[in-house]
A and B are shown apart, each in its own frame.
Chain A
Amino acid sequence: NAGVMQNPRHLVRRRGQEARLRCSPMKGHSHVYWYRQLPEEGLKFMVYLQKENIIDESGMPKERFSAEFPKEGPSILRIQQVVRGDSAAYFCASSTGTGSYEQYFGPGTRLTVT
Chain B
Amino acid sequence: EDQVTQSPEALRLQEGESSSLNCSYTVSGLRGLFWYRQDPGKGPEFLFTLYSAGEEKEKERLKATLTKKESFLHITAPKPEDSATYLCAVLPAGYSTLTFGKGTMLLVSP
Contact = CB atoms under 8 A, between A and B. Distances in A.
Contacts of A103: 34, 46, 98
Contact of A43 (B44, B49, B96): B44
B91 A101 contact: yes
B74 interface: no
A106 B38 CA distance: 11
Interface residues of B, number: 21
B102 to A, nearest CB: 4
Contact of B97 (A33, A40, A106, A107): A33
A4 B42 CA distance: 12
B42 A108 contact: yes
Chief secondary structure at chain A's binding surface: strand
A48 B97 contact: yes
Interface of B: 31-32, 34, 36, 42-46, 49, 87, 89, 91, 96-103
Interface of A: 4, 6, 33, 35, 40-45, 48, 55-56, 59, 91, 97, 101-108
